[in-house]
Chain A
Amino acid sequence: MKLVVNGAERSFDVPPLKRLLDVLREDLGLTGTKEGCGEGECGACSVLVDGELLNSCLVPVCQVDGATVLTVEGVASQGELTPLQKCFLECGGAQCGICTPGMIVAAHRFLSTGKPATDENVRDAIAGNLCRCTGYAKIVEAIQLAATQAPAAAAAEGARR
């Protein structure tokens, strides 16, 4: 089987029902993506597959053979954090850090839609990502700050939602 992960083609030989999450972490060494609940409730394992947000714990790898995957490791480019990641740092959008990779990926997807970063829209976009530390206020703030800084990047991927 094959995936294009964070821009690089990777191939591997695993059972068809192995979770995308486990392939990323165990076979490809990308441990940024976390497992929280294993039930699609918490969003810690969020990744983009062909541009769409998915819970990688609910995706058997046989269903994504050949797909393009973006994990948290692939969000920054050439070692430079994106405005979104810098805003998480600046606003204190991370505490224990377990939800952060999923939050960053979900927020990255949200920004790519170009939707206005109202409280309601931002909270809807990260409704599937649970955080037990921050109370969400600083995460929402970080995403809204990033939206004011990165309208160009946002428009690039186009709005599908």
Chain B
Amino acid sequence: MIPVTSVRSLSEAYALLKDRPPGLRVLAGGTDFMVAVNARLGLDRIGHVLDIWRLQELRGISLRDGTLRIGALTTYAELMRSPEVLTHLPALAAVSREVGAWAIQNRGTLGGNVCNASPAGDTLPHLLAAEARFVVGGPRGERAVAAAQFFVGYRKTALGADELLQRIDIPIMPGARLVYRKVGTRKAQSVSRTIVAVRATREGGMLRDVRIGAGCVAPVPLRCRRAEAAVEEGGDVRAALEQDIRPVDDVRATAVYRSRVTGNVLLRLLESL
């Protein structure tokens, strides 16, 4: 039987993290974790479960000094209803509505989406495009990691073995808009085939401060820096994007499809800004 420690405070969590028990897994809303448990996938690699679901310190959304601060345990349903999110980053509320359906939205968390680090994580292109910072902490202290530096390999993150994601900080840029499009097989309960988010400010006919995040087109959720430069410098955006991305064939789509559709979606999003 896998030992589980359910904590109610950060200090309790840190006490466990300090010892770095082998095979430690952090359990939040469980919408990914329990799928693996039910399928008996990788159970032998789990030595200890740290259940943080009732850790109130990691909940809540606030706006402070022009930054939206979102606790790691904030659920999709909470993002969908949050006045702060609806006012300052409505695209994050909108994409939360496209994650699973009600039962998943009630349980899945933003922090879980970040730490699970799936290339198909639906909120991750938003967080990349919005230049979010992930505040992580542990017995050794706190630090902030830029979203673009957080995803270091396929489902691998910059999180240390004794660290927990505490909150997601999103700077609100006045005048900027963030738009996105998720392409799945149907409206609900669908894993994305590709997903693109773009943030920019429009100055006359030009787009400035362009940031592009994309999912399902590389082993990690990806900042598309060549495409960003092409937009700002008036280059060939589609060709630049193709240099950024490394899509693969899988059960949901072919690489060729992903490449073509991601380019189409990006160009349409840019037109809409």
Interface of A toward B, CB cutoff 8 Å: 15-17, 19, 38-41, 43, 46, 52-55, 57-60, 62-63, 106, 109, 124-130, 161
* A127-B37 contact in complex given A40-B100, A63-B53, C-beta closer than 8 Å: no
Residues on B with C-beta less than 8 A from A58 are: 30-31, 34-35, 38, 103, 107
B251 near A: Cβ within 8 Å?
no
Number of interface residues of B (CB under 8 A): 28
Interface of B toward A, CB cutoff 8 Å: 1-2, 4, 6, 27, 30-31, 34-35, 37-39, 49, 51, 53-54, 77, 81, 100-104, 106-107, 187-189
Contact A17 B107 (CB under 8 A): no
Contact B38 A60 (CB under 8 A): no
* A60-B106 contact in complex given A16-B6, A17-B49, A127-B189, C-beta closer than 8 Å: no
Q: How many pairs of residues, A versus B, come closer than 8 Å at their CB atoms?
A: 90
* A19-B34 contact in complex given A62-B51, A127-B188, C-beta closer than 8 Å: yes
**Beyond known contacts A43-B101, A128-B102: 7 more, CB 8 A cutoff:** A38-B38, A40-B34, A40-B35, A57-B34, A58-B31, A125-B102, A161-B81
- The answer, among A39, A52, A126, A127, for a CB contact under 8 Å with B38, is A39
Bound-state CA distance A15–B43 (Å) is 15
Contact A106 B104 (CB under 8 A): no
* A38-B102 contact in complex given A62-B51, A63-B54, A127-B189, C-beta closer than 8 Å: no
In angstroms, how far is the closest chain A Cβ from the Cβ of B26? Answer: 13
Smallest Cβ-Cβ distance to B100: which chain A residue:
A128
Bound-state CA distance A125–B27 (Å) is 27
Q: List 9 A-B contacts (CB under 8 A).
A: A17-B2, A38-B39, A39-B35, A40-B34, A59-B30, A59-B34, A60-B27, A124-B101, A128-B103
Q: Which 4 A-B pairs have the closest CB atoms?
A: A128-B101, A127-B188, A127-B101, A16-B4
Contact A128 B188 (CB under 8 A): yes
Contact A40 B4 (CB under 8 A): no
- The answer, among A38, A43, A130, A161, for a CB contact under 8 Å with B103, is A43
In angstroms, how far is the closest chain A Cβ from the Cβ of B53? Answer: 5
Contact A62 B38 (CB under 8 A): no
Residues on A with C-beta less than 8 A from B27 are: 60, 63
Bound-state CA distance A124–B38 (Å) is 26
Contact A128 B189 (CB under 8 A): yes
Contact B4 A62 (CB under 8 A): yes
Bound-state CA distance A53–B107 (Å) is 9
Smallest Cβ-Cβ distance to A43: which chain B residue:
B103
* A60-B30 contact in complex given A17-B2, A161-B81, C-beta closer than 8 Å: yes
Bound-state CA distance A109–B46 (Å) is 35
Contact B189 A41 (CB under 8 A): yes
Smallest Cβ-Cβ distance to A129: which chain B residue:
B101
Contact B54 A15 (CB under 8 A): no
Bound-state CA distance A53–B102 (Å) is 7
Bound-state CA distance A125–B37 (Å) is 27
Chain B CB within 10 Å — which of A39, A62, A63 has the most? A63
Residues on B with C-beta less than 8 A from A161 are: 77, 81, 102
Residues on A with C-beta less than 8 A from B6 are: 16, 62-63
In angstroms, how far is the closest chain A Cβ from the Cβ of B73? Answer: 12
Residues on B with C-beta less than 8 A from A106 are: 102-103
In angstroms, how far is the closest chain B Cβ from the Cβ of A97? Answer: 20
Residues on B with C-beta less than 8 A from A63 are: 6, 27, 30, 51, 53-54
Bound-state CA distance A17–B189 (Å) is 25
Smallest Cβ-Cβ distance to B4: which chain A residue:
A16
Bound-state CA distance A127–B104 (Å) is 11
Residues on B with C-beta less than 8 A from A57 are: 34, 38
Residues on B with C-beta less than 8 A from A19 are: 34, 38
Residues on B with C-beta less than 8 A from A17 are: 2, 4, 37, 49
Contact A40 B2 (CB under 8 A): no
In angstroms, how far is the closest chain B Cβ from the Cβ of A109? Answer: 7
* A40-B53 contact in complex given A17-B37, A58-B30, A58-B34, C-beta closer than 8 Å: no
